[in-house]
Amino acid sequence: EAEPSGVSTALSALAKAMQWQRAIHLFNQTQLLWTLKPEENHRKAQKGKEEDDSWEIIKDRSLLRALGAGHLWESALFHFQSANPQDAWNLSAAIWACQVAGQSVARELLSEHLRQHQRRRSKRKELRLLEHLSKLSDPDAVQILASIEDFSKENRWLKVAGGEKGQILESIISPGDRVLEVGSYIGFTALRLAQHGCEVVTIEADPLNAAVAQEIVEMASLATMDGTGTRGSQISSRVKICVGRASDW
């Protein structure tokens, strides 16, 4: 019998093992079985909405990652739109599927996710930070970093490596270093490293944080020259924001 919890576990395991063809096959088999046995499916759903919701959530996320692992990004986007596009982790998986296939639509998905939160007037402090930065006049990377630290101290605490932590970080890096960061948050550290000449690959699971980081890096890229003599376009080219879990990459 195909119980939701068992299928969810199997799908997750196959996706993590990058066995995307087997994951898709299992998904299709399960969907067909439950279509042929609607009464049984209804009985299982009555076990509790929590378990049923859990199955739906894990099913969607696992299938999206399975499609992404197979570079079937168009299928991943189609499934994302037909599943629950409001679920942040579905979006994260869909963006990851596009990124691993080298598709620029991933940037558009991030930007649209950010705009949706802004239209809803979300109260997340990361969006308040963007409002704060938008008041700066033609900011460069140095000004943006300083403004983020000021915002963190004066308004809402942000988990950024500023102050003494930032100084320690700068003391152990050199221009040309290649850095992998797990947990981009708003892109503060990635921008700081890039501003000092490092090539940064930064991974962020939360699509809204990734979208804010993308916005901040792009803001810095518009500067003609910053206080260190670095062009903004050079800084943006040094930062690659990857959406998803560390194990995805």
pLDDT at 96: 93
Mean pLDDT of the 192-218 span = 95
pLDDT at 144: 94
For 80, residues 6+ apart whose C-beta sits below 8 A from its C-beta are: 64, 90, 91, 93, 94
Give the count of alpha carbons within 13 A of 55, CB side only.
18
Mean pLDDT of the 73-83 span = 88
pTM for this entry: 0.79
pLDDT at 230: 65
How far, in Å, CA of 19 to CA of 40, rounded? Answer: 28
Amino acid type, 92 = S
* pLDDT at 34 > cutoff 70: no
**Count of H-run helices and E-run strands, the chain:** 13, 3
Mean pLDDT of the 196-212 span = 95
Mean pLDDT of the 19-36 span = 67
Task: State the pairing for strand pair 239-243/178-182.
Answer: unpaired
Mean pLDDT of the 170-180 span = 94
Cβ neighbours, 10 Å, residue 33: 14
Query: 155-193 b/e with 16+ CB inside 10 Å = b?
Result: eeebebbbeeebeebeeeeeeeeebebeebbbbbbbbbb
**pLDDT interval class at 145 (50, 70, 90):** very high
More confident residue, 24 or 53: 24
**pLDDT interval class at 49 (50, 70, 90):** very low
**pLDDT interval class at 24 (50, 70, 90):** confident
**pLDDT interval class at 233 (50, 70, 90):** confident
**pLDDT interval class at 55 (50, 70, 90):** low
